[in-house]
Amino acid sequence: MKQQIIVSGIGGQGVLFLTRVIAQVAVNRGLAVLTSETHGMAQRGGTVLSSIKVGDFSSPLIRTGQADVGLLLWEANLGVHQPLLRTDGALVISSEQLGSGARIAAARLARELGNAVLANLIVLGVAVRDQLLFCTSDECEQAIRQLAPARFVEQNLAAFHLGLNH
Amino acid sequence: MEQQQVELLMGNEAMACGLIEAGCQVVAAYPGTPSTEILQAVADRRATALEPLHIEWSVNEKVAFEVALAASYTGKRSAAIMKQVGLNVAADPFMRSAYLGVKGGFVTIVADDPGPHSSQNEQDTRLFCLQGRVPVFDPASPAEAKELLPLAFELSEKYEMLTVLRPATRICHSRQNVEHKPVQQLNRSANFEKNPNRWGATPAFLPALHRQLNDNLVAFAAEPALQPRLTPGNGTAARTALVASGIVYGHIVDLLAELGLTQNFDLYQVVLPYPLNAAWVEQMRNNYDRVMVVEETYPVIEMQLAHTGAFGKQSGDIVKEGELTPDVVNEALARFLDLAPPPPAPADSRGQRPSLCPGCPHRSAFYSIKKTFPKGIFPSDIGCYTLGLNLKAVDTVHCMGACISQGAGFYQSYVQDAKDSFPTVVVTIGDSTFFHSGIPALINAVIQQARIIVVILDNSIAAMTGGQPVPHMGHKITGEATKAIVIEPLVQASGVEFLECCDPYDNVAFEAALHRADAHIRAPQGGVAVIIARHGCLMERAVAQQQTRYTMAITSACIGCRLCVDAFECPALSMDSSTKMAILDPDRCIGCGACIHVCPVDAITEVIQGEQS
């Protein structure tokens, strides 16, 4: 099993948390995993990008045209990060506009759930629903329970299920 | 604390576990991206240590290094942690430590930032170590960064030498499945054996210490565990080798696998880029005609190899600036091997620029400074408030603490030309940076009679790096209480005669204080004026919870003047391209109300929600 995934957004959208959930699933299944993340100044509302490489890899970075799946929480990043995807790569985008990839109004749905930052797990739910990722919904739920602060677990799972059943 | 055997760890967390597992007992650091999370993770996991463990956020990197160094003199294992430019601050004790050596294992972890992603340059700590004559380890993955730590401690003790572990951003901020090892219990008691000829070496003793250092470097480089690690090829490409170190080694391994070339070449991973073993260098010269060297950021290995068939940065074959991403390595490898050139990678684009957070008190301070002194000169410094660049209220950003001295330098130069009409220089410096290295510069500005305004942006936290405690907070990294060092008496003791404190959210009061400060610097007996702009960082939950929150709206009275978007630059405000009026992003607005004051036609309005959780 080898899969290369990018998660793209802006600082404050929960890109890091979504990255950790997916990577935790790999660890729970005993798979090797490498991620890279954006920290520091760019986190102050700027563009952030994570990569996740599951399976036998040595580098955490993804070369142009090699990512299997892209999860975009900020549509405006499409121009910057789409080149990382394979030509047949799958894409899930948080967006209310029509366009490429699977699209879901994740920010609005998340706001209705009580917090715009939950858009990250709604997008994860859609990706799992469409079987784009190596992981199952049960595995994602387990990882969310492991990583979310206790008082947010139920809200996070609700967001994930919203995407899963959308 | 019970730990899983294998855990998903960020490189910085992995190194923290490595420090604890190696029995390290004193760890001192100053926060700086990408190194910051190492010390925090040591603190979070300190319960796993079997022996007493002192952890501190020191006031700067020089202090951190010296604290850890003396702990090593007592025979205990210790570590200092900083980012690459932090080593410049610690350079003075670092360089002498190479000569004097250590007792207990001493590792300085210095995190480099090729790119750079979050730094003022992309200097290479490996080259710094070459100059300082200090052995430096270059890990290729988070797991390897952790594995190398016990080895670095052991060899530091064996040779009584300072050692450096150099992870780069892509190690620090990568996550990997990492295996935990048993924690060592070393049972050491502090025992400082006095030896003034060494620990206080005067020039007379230094040539001998220097000779010892040079001998040690030769022996260190020959240590079997540190030899370049060869993955032999099948002879397809005889007399051709690839040499890589750090994260770039990982890139090349993945790339060769993708291209189906894994078995074709002899591939060397260099884990100790300095000092290189002379025997290996000789062997590379004899056994290969062509050697591609990929390393970040400077050609440190390539320079020492001095191979006539080298293909690298020094030879001019590989780009010398920026990160060696897999795309850059791919393009270079294709040229080295005469493969078809890959399609050009898209131009590097960083996407949306970062901004001060919605509600950030620095934004209000910068807005008022720019408004009050439209023609002022604005030296600033390292921290979140560097982003005052976006509000055109920051003109210079150099290095930690430089803004006050630069402000004084601007004044001295301008005042020579126009004694009574020098420009208003308004320096902005954060509270953590002020403690780090602003205080000597303030004293200097006072005694040199510089007439400048220094605004200390006191948000009571080291915010940029994620909220480390600062000396005036009265608590340590572990949360334990300690003495709080109050800023005001420090400023007064530095000889400053104008000192006011004010909340920058209150723009009217803050602007009035700026006018009074300007009058002071221009008065016959004037000098440095200091204003403390005090409002907590909203990333701190306690601050955010205490603050009144509003439901903001923009009414149809908006005339589309863009002032709130351009001069105030809140990420929650933007212009609607169709209506040409300002719009508000409800997901990003935090309801601070700081923008109300900015609108010239009162089109930004609020409804009090009361105190929110």
B523 and B586 belong to one structural domain: no
Q: Which residues pair with A47 in a beta bridge?
A: A10
Contact assignment for A46 to B351 by CB distance below 8 Å: yes
Of residues A34, A66, A80, nearest to B351 (C-beta): A80
Q: CA-to-CA distance for B404 and B391, rounded, in angstroms?
A: 20
pLDDT of residue B565: 94
Q: CA-to-CA distance for B508 and B503, rounded, in angstroms?
A: 10
Residue B513 lies in a domain: yes
In B, residues 438-467, which contact A (CB 8 Å cutoff)? 464-465
Of residues B176, B346, B354, nearest to A41 (C-beta): B354
Closest CA to B428 of B366, B358, B372: B366
Q: Which of B506, B525, B543 is the last residue of a domain?
A: B543
B79 and B98 belong to one structural domain: yes
Q: CA-to-CA distance for A47 and B351, rounded, in angstroms?
A: 5
User: A7: domain range?
Assistant: 3-164
pLDDT of residue B18: 98
Contact assignment for B355 to A41 by CB distance below 8 Å: no
B322 and B367 belong to one structural domain: no
Distance of CA B415 to the CA centre of its chain: 35
B50 and B132 belong to one structural domain: yes
Q: Which of B498, B519, B543 is the last residue of a domain?
A: B543
> Where do the H-state alpha helices sit in A2-105?
15-28, 78-81
Residue B346 lies in a domain: no
Is-contact B379 B396, C-beta < 8 A?
yes
Contact assignment for B251 to A26 by CB distance below 8 Å: no
Residue B343 lies in a domain: no
A60 contacts in chain B (CB < 8 Å): 170, 174-176, 247, 250
Residue A140 burial (CB count, 10 A):
23
Q: Which residues pair with A3 in a beta bridge?
A: A54
Interior angle at CA B202, CA B134 and CA B206, nearest 5:
40
User: B587: domain range?
Assistant: 547-611
Check if A64 contacts B (Cβ < 8 Å).
Answer: yes
Closest-CA residue in chain B for A65?
Answer: B345
Closest CA to B245 of B321, B300, B185, B176: B300
Q: Which of B302, B337, B372 is the last residue of a domain?
A: B337
Task: Report whether pLDDT(A42) > 80.
Answer: no
Contact assignment for A58 to B355 by CB distance below 8 Å: no
Contact assignment for A34 to B175 by CB distance below 8 Å: yes
Residue B355 lies in a domain: no
Question: What is the total count of domains within chain A?
Answer: 1
Residue B354 lies in a domain: no
Query: Which residue, chain included where needed, has tokens 């609700």?
Result: A158
**Local mean pLDDT, 10-residue blocks, chain B (613 residues):** 78 98 98 96 97 97 98 98 98 98 98 94 98 98 98 98 98 97 97 97 97 98 98 91 98 95 94 98 97 98 98 98 96 96 80 89 97 98 94 97 98 94 97 96 98 96 86 92 96 98 97 98 96 94 89 94 94 94 91 94 81 42
Catalogue the E-assigned strands of B481-528.
498-502
B440 and B539 belong to one structural domain: yes
pTM, full prediction: 0.95
Number of residues that this document lists for chain A: 166
Query: Which residue, chain included where needed, has tokens 């025997």?
Result: B279
Beta-carbon contacts of residue B296 (< 8 Å; ≥ 6 apart) = B112, B114, B124, B168, B246, B247, B248, B323, B324
Here the CATH number for the domain that contains residue A140 is 3.40.920.10
pLDDT, average across residues A119-123: 98
Check if A50 contacts B (Cβ < 8 Å).
Answer: no
B527 and B591 belong to one structural domain: no
Q: CA-to-CA distance for B57 and B34, rounded, in angstroms?
A: 15
Here the CATH number for the domain that contains residue B144 is 3.40.50.970
Query: Which residue, chain included where needed, has tokens 């190479």?
Result: B98
Check if B117 contacts A (Cβ < 8 Å).
Answer: yes
Catalogue the E-assigned strands of B15-144.
26-29, 54-57, 78-83, 106-111, 136-137
How far away is chain B from the Cα of A56, in angstroms, using its nearest Cα? 9
Q: CA-to-CA distance for B518 and B105, rounded, in angstroms?
A: 53
pLDDT of residue B609: 59
How far away is chain B from the Cα of A43, in angstroms, using its nearest Cα? 7
Question: What is the total count of domains within chain B?
Answer: 4
How far away is chain B from the Cα of A119, in angstroms, using its nearest Cα? 11
pLDDT, tens digit, 9 for 90 and up, residues A145-164: 999 999 999 999 999 999 99
B391 and B496 belong to one structural domain: yes
